[in-house]
Amino acid sequence: MKSISRILLVACCLLTVYSAQAQSRPAPRGRVAPKPRAKAGAAMMKDGVMMKDGKLVATEMGMTNPVEGDKTLRNGTIITAAGVVTSKDGTTTQLKEGDYVSLTGRVETRAEIVAQDSILKLQAYDLKHPGKRKELEKAREKAEKAKEKADKEKEKAKAKAAKK
């Protein structure tokens, strides 16, 4: 009887330890760079209106079609087929190649889009390689200082040669 009670006591202790271990939290993970999204076709476009190859194209729910006539957006902004954007307050803007207007009426120039894209690329690079850009900047500064020092040495050598 004693041996059975001891076996049951040991089994209960082991079961308690095992269940307590299963409830502990796993170690926190480090930050991981986001994976690039798969693009459908050549390039996936956001919903909105864009000047592309001198023509105005509208993308809604993934479907891209040329704009034939005037298009009125949700906020009352009107876009003509020629690319003239007239906002609700009356201000007009002419779209250039690569400019984008969201369906809410926000106008983004090509330069703004490129700047946002480069910032996102830098952020993704920093997540993937933390501290790497700082190291590269320090190495570049060190190389510049070495070049300046070498240039000064050459100037001193030329000055000495000119004196003789």
Helices (H) and strands (E) counted in the chain, each on its own, are: 3, 9
pLDDT digits (tens, 9 = 90+) for 97-107: 888 888 888 88
Asked if the structure places residue 83 within a domain, the reply is: yes
Asked if the structure places residue 124 within a domain, the reply is: no
Its domain, for residue 72, covers: 48-114
CA dist 2 and 32 (Å) reads 56
What is the Cα Rg of the chain in Å?
Answer: 32
Asked if the structure places residue 59 within a domain, the reply is: yes
Asked if the structure places residue 68 within a domain, the reply is: yes
CB 56 within 8 A of CB 81: yes
Asked if the structure places residue 153 within a domain, the reply is: no
Give me the residues paired with residue 120 across strands.
Answer: none
CB 58 within 8 A of CB 65: yes
CB atoms within 10 A of CB 77: 23
Asked if the structure places residue 161 within a domain, the reply is: no
Task: Extract the tokens encoding 53.
Answer: 């190859």
Asked if the structure places residue 147 within a domain, the reply is: no
pLDDT digits (tens, 9 = 90+) for 24-39: 566 667 666 666 554 4
Asked if the structure places residue 63 within a domain, the reply is: yes
Give the model's confidence band at 140: pLDDT under 50 very low, under 70 low, under 90 confident, else very high. Answer: very high
How many structural domains does the chain have?
1
Q: What is the pTM of this model?
A: 0.46
